[in-house]
Amino acid sequence: MFKQHVLGNHTVLSHPKYTSQITLDWFDANFWQKQNKIVGAKKGRATAWFFKQDNLTAVLRHYWRGGLVGKLLSDQYLYPGLEQTRVYKEFSLMSKLIELGLNVPAPIAAKITRSGLIYRGDIITEAVKGAKSLLDILIKRPLTQDELERIAKTIALFHSKGVYHADLNINNILFDDTGDVYIIDFDRGEIKTPNTQWQQSNMARLERSFLKEQGRNESFHWQASDWQTLHSNYLKAPANV
């Protein structure tokens, strides 16, 4: 499924296609900047760096803690054993989702750096071609009925496979350059037994994110009827979509 090797206090996970190319430098944004290979950045709680290497356009993301704990510990996590780290869990989950044929970015590599009882982490995923998040779109124009239906069917498909997303929001749902829907950022995600309770909780979180962004953006093309369309299409999507 993926390769794993140890370099000093670093454990590197990698997609077999890229194993021979990947060095520790790949996880350093400065390394790519010095070669003028940074092609974009997405600002958020943490910056995600987009870089281009040969035919690969990828996204490098460092793991940062959120909330009050994050102000104290920033990027430090208690080491629970390799397979229990957030980095290993996300990388292996994304590898599994690719195997299931779901629209997620391909995982390229990840790094877990251990120092005593703590670890830090980074992950590299393939960039979604021509990606536009729902937020990007809604700031400019409303979603079409067809787009709302495609979003609903994609989420329903993920849910039917038991895929739980810990932070399903409009920044983590993208359209690629052909109009296909992708879901990104599976930190703390997992595969669970399908259950209406967690699935409804996922959808409620998504609805809150539409309302939250509507409140903070002057231009935001969203109304209650759009959510009704999306949600009704989600409910009526067949189990295998």
Catalytic residues: 167
| Of the candidates 203, 170, 206, 168, the residue with the CA atom closest to the CA atom of residue 187 | 168
- Report the number of secondary-structure helices (H) and strands (E) in the chain: 7, 13
Q: How far apart are CA 87 and CA 13, in angstroms?
A: 9
Q: How far apart are CA 214 and CA 220, in angstroms?
A: 6
Widest CA span of the chain, in angstroms?
55
Strand partners, 4: 13
Q: Strand (E) positions, the chain?
A: 3-7, 10-14, 38-42, 48-53, 56-62, 77-78, 107-115, 118-126, 132-133, 163-164, 173-175, 181-183, 190-191
| Of the candidates 179, 38, 163, the residue with the CA atom closest to the CA atom of residue 99 | 163
